[in-house]
Structure 1
Amino acid sequence: MKCNACWRELDGRAVTTTCGHLFCPEDANKIISNDAACPICDQVLSKSLMKPVDINPNDEWINMVMAGISPQILMKSAYRSVMFYIGQKDLEMQAKMNNIVGQCRQKCVAMQQKFTEKMEQIHTAYQKMAKRCQMMEQELESLSKDKQELQEKFSEKSRQKRKLEEMYDQLKTRI
């Protein structure tokens, strides 16, 4: 059995409440001294609604308590004890699940932050690459214009050369 407040394993003595919850003596004292409300179900508690119990009673105590009690009462008591135990295990499982869910949420938040950081890095890299591509396109366009101009100049020079060669050939034939 575990304390329903701190979830430490109970050893020896504990305090049970009329609302069906079990606490270590330290947490029971805190409940009474603070707001006197059960931290599990918020039922208002008083010292009279909280009873100390022995978690592991010895056989002599069990025999003494059970002596002279009718089987119907024993069965009713056993049923209540089993239901209390099942309720405690259910509370323990809920607390574990809440803890696991909390851890998962923290991990999800951390993963979301990492994802956001990575997406920002990718976006920044994408923007840099887009600017670089734009600069390369402008450079390519500029080089294409230069090539066009050089081709035109080359064509013009080639025409001029041909003309000069023709003129040279004409002069040569005249001589």
Structure 2
Amino acid sequence: MQGVLFCNDTKCRRQISSGSAWVTSCCHVFCHEDGKAIIENGRICPACSMSLNKKHGIISFEPNPDKAYRSMILLGQRPDIVMDICQKAISGWMYQYSNELQYRELMLQRSERKIADLKQFCEQLETEWQKANKAMKSELSSRDSELAALKKQYNEVSSLLSSKSRQCKKLEATCHRLTLASTAPKMDGAGDSRSETEFCLGRIQSSTGSPIGHQRTMSPMVRFSSPTKHPSDFSRSALFPTHSPDIGSTDYYRRLFSL
């Protein structure tokens, strides 16, 4: 910072090292653009709001003049004037130096406050993140437990389903065998019963010498439903009523022949 001036406008803060600049009677320094804006906008110092007179309130200077300018600027002035000018110039420089220090300290304090706020905010975020992370870990653990329980239940149901499927297949096979076993004897029995019935009717015809339908007298065990019907209308159900479990069997005809 030593040997360097900065524009005292807080919106500018441009470093003044070459070219032309402006200085006010209140010892504030501005860059060329801001100095011209002060002159055009009513000669009010933007740093301290002091009114600047028209003649010597604000003047232009060169921050880095050449040797010819330095050798000519104070020529012809009495030593006391030169010393007074030098004293005021050094005082103005020290004022700028102290102002710059205050400005830097102020910016440092602001930066420290922002850093403290950011640190507090980061700590708060870290605390919230830790809580959220802990909650997520707990939730993940519970979900893992539920998943393990569901897998175990799935395996049990799968094994039970496989067992039931095998039992169902066995029952289907058993039912099929029983169905075949129950239908086959009935068909054979029906054929045997029919053949036995025809054999018995033939025995009756051969013993009487006439068809079974033309006989007028029968055993008292055989009763017709209507004597006026034609003999051809007599069916096996009429000859052998279903209310007697022995009629239609071989033993029945054997008893009939023995009478």
Question: TM-score scaled to structure 1, two decimals?
Answer: 0.62
Tell me which of the two structures has the higher relative contact order, counting C-alpha pairs closer than 8 angstroms and 6 or more residues apart. Answer: 1
Q: Which residue of 2 aligns with 1:134?
A: none
Q: Which residue of 2 aligns with 1:53?
A: 61
Residue 114 of structure 1: which of 91, 116, 122 is its match?
122
- After superposition, the C-alpha distances for 1:116-155 in whole angstroms (9 at most, x for unaligned) are 22344456678x6xx9xxxxxxxxxxxxxxxxxxxxxxxx
Q: Which residue of 1 aligns with 2:98?
A: 90
C-alpha distance in structure 1 between counterparts of 2:91 and 2:53, whole Å: 23
Alignment of 1:1-175 (within 5 A): 1-5=5-9, 6-10=12-16, 11-34=18-41, 36-45=43-52, 48=55, 49-121=57-129
Question: Which residue type is aligned with residue 17 of structure 1?
Answer: T
Alpha-carbon distance change, 34 to 122 in structure 1, aligned in 2, over 3 angstroms: farther
Question: TM-score scaled to structure 2, two decimals?
Answer: 0.44
RMSD, aligned CA: 2.7
Alpha-carbon distance change, 81 to 106 in structure 1, aligned in 2, over 3 angstroms: same
SS at match of 1:15: strand
SS at match of 1:66: coil
Alpha-carbon distance change, 66 to 89 in structure 1, aligned in 2, over 3 angstroms: same
Instruction: Using the TM superposition, give the Cα deviation of residue 34 of structure 1 relative to its aligned residue in structure 2, in angstroms.
Output: 4.8
Instruction: Using the TM superposition, give the Cα deviation of residue 45 of structure 1 relative to its aligned residue in structure 2, in angstroms.
Output: 3.6
Q: Which residue of 2 aligns with 1:139?
A: none
- Identical pairs, percent: 27
Q: Is the 8 A contact 1:32 1:46 kept in 2?
A: no
Which protein shows a greater Rg? 2
Q: Which residue of 1 aligns with 2:212?
A: none
SS at match of 2:76: coil
Q: Which residue of 2 aligns with 1:161?
A: none
SS at match of 2:73: helix
Alpha-carbon distance change, 109 to 9 in structure 1, aligned in 2, over 3 angstroms: same
Alpha-carbon distance change, 32 to 66 in structure 1, aligned in 2, over 3 angstroms: closer
C-alpha distance in structure 1 between counterparts of 2:77 and 2:43, whole Å: 34
Instruction: Using the TM superposition, give the Cα deviation of residue 65 of structure 1 relative to its aligned residue in structure 2, in angstroms.
Output: 2.1
C-alpha distance in structure 2 between counterparts of 1:30 and 1:113, whole Å: 42
C-alpha distance in structure 2 between counterparts of 1:72 and 1:57, whole Å: 23
- After superposition, the C-alpha distances for 1:59-107 in whole angstroms (9 at most, x for unaligned) are 2222222112111111111111111111111122222222222222221
SS at match of 1:101: helix
**Paired residue total:** 131
C-alpha distance in structure 1 between counterparts of 2:127 and 2:43, whole Å: 50
Instruction: Using the TM superposition, give the Cα deviation of residue 14 of structure 1 relative to its aligned residue in structure 2, in angstroms.
Output: 0.4
Indicate the structure with greater helix content.
1
